[in-house]
A and B are shown apart, each in its own frame.
Chain A
Amino acid sequence: SQQGEEDPQALSIQEGENATMNCSYKTSINNLQWYRQNSGRGLVHLILIRSNEREKHSGRLRVTLDTSKKSSSLLITASRAADTASYFCAVNRDDKIIFGKGTRLHILP
């Protein structure tokens, strides 16, 4: 089974609103990463947060990590049409990097 599970599976919001996606995982991790995938394209790395970090920012992205709850969240502020994509969390297990099933985000004009 996949190590990371995103929630919700799909999310539609108005342009300009904030989008929050969550990821839960099952075992201890070294780090957790978030990726974006535009339709028909490869994945693009967004941000990596280490197990000893609680929060990290990159532009309009904010990621939190709660290792006690084995969960992470990705917040995209002031959403834009170009943010429409699928978002995946990924965790290390042994030497493998395991992806969740993703959240499909749709930004409405």
Chain B
Amino acid sequence: NAGVMQNPRHLVRRRGQEARLRCSPMKGHSHVYWYRQLPEEGLKFMVYLQKENIIDESGMPKERFSAEFPKEGPSILRIQQVVRGDSAAYFCASSPQRGTGELFFGEGSRLTVL
């Protein structure tokens, strides 16, 4: 039973380009969370999604960031027109139930903006 799969593990983009980060949750999990982590810091909540629904996006920047979790396929975190401040590790976690239990994390996608 594969764990949470994130790709790419490392992504380099130039300022102004788009970054797409993918997350396949564990089998049977329909709840996905995205977090951002800067070096030596904690995880900052970005967005919580269920299949085809955004439940809470209160941690997402108002511009350039979007997330989706379609009926089929992985969850996507999309960052348009990246800036240097977007450089960070982005972690996805999945859960079989709504917001109360254990989260299963992927290994993260490390975005570097040149």
Chain A residues within CB distance 8 Å of chain B: 2, 30-31, 33, 35, 41-45, 48, 88, 90, 92, 94-102, 104
Q: Is there contact, CB below 8 Å, between A31 and B100? A: yes
Q: Is there contact, CB below 8 Å, between B42 and A96? A: no
Nearest CB on A from B47, distance (A): 9
Q: Please give me the residue from chain B that is nearest to A45 by CB atom.
A: B102
Interface of B is mostly: loop
Q: Please give me the residue from chain A that is nearest to B104 by CB atom.
A: A45
The reply on B45 being an interface residue by CB < 8 A is yes
The reply on B71 being an interface residue by CB < 8 A is no
Q: Please give me the residue from chain B that is nearest to A95 by CB atom.
A: B99
Q: Is there contact, CB below 8 Å, between B98 and A95? A: yes
The reply on B55 being an interface residue by CB < 8 A is yes
Interface segment, B12-20, B62-70, B78-86, B105-113? B105-113
Number of A-B contacts (CB under 8 A): 62
Q: Is there contact, CB below 8 Å, between B55 and A43? A: no
Q: Is there contact, CB below 8 Å, between A30 and B100? A: yes
Q: Please give me the residue from chain A that is nearest to B59 by CB atom.
A: A96
Nearest CB on A from B15, distance (A): 25
Q: Is there contact, CB below 8 Å, between B33 and A97? A: yes
CA distance A101 to B45 in the complex (A): 12
Q: Is there contact, CB below 8 Å, between B102 and A94? A: no
Instruction: Give the contacts of B46-97 with A (CB-CB under 8 A).
Output: 48, 55-56, 58-59, 91, 93
Contacts of A99 in B (CB 8 A): 35, 42-45
Nearest CB on A from B107, distance (A): 5
Going nearest first, the 9 A-B pairs with the smallest beta carbon separation are A95-B99, A42-B105, A101-B42, A99-B43, A43-B105, A45-B102, A42-B107, A99-B42, A102-B42
Which residue of B59, B93, B100 is within 8 Å of A43 (Cβ)?
B93
Contacts of B33 in A (CB 8 A): 96-97
Q: Is there contact, CB below 8 Å, between A41 and B42? A: no
Given A42-B106, A98-B45: A48 and B56 within 8 A (CB)?
Answer: no
Q: List 13 A-B contacts (CB under 8 A).
A: A31-B100, A33-B103, A42-B105, A43-B93, A43-B103, A43-B105, A45-B102, A45-B103, A92-B99, A92-B100, A99-B35, A99-B43, A102-B41
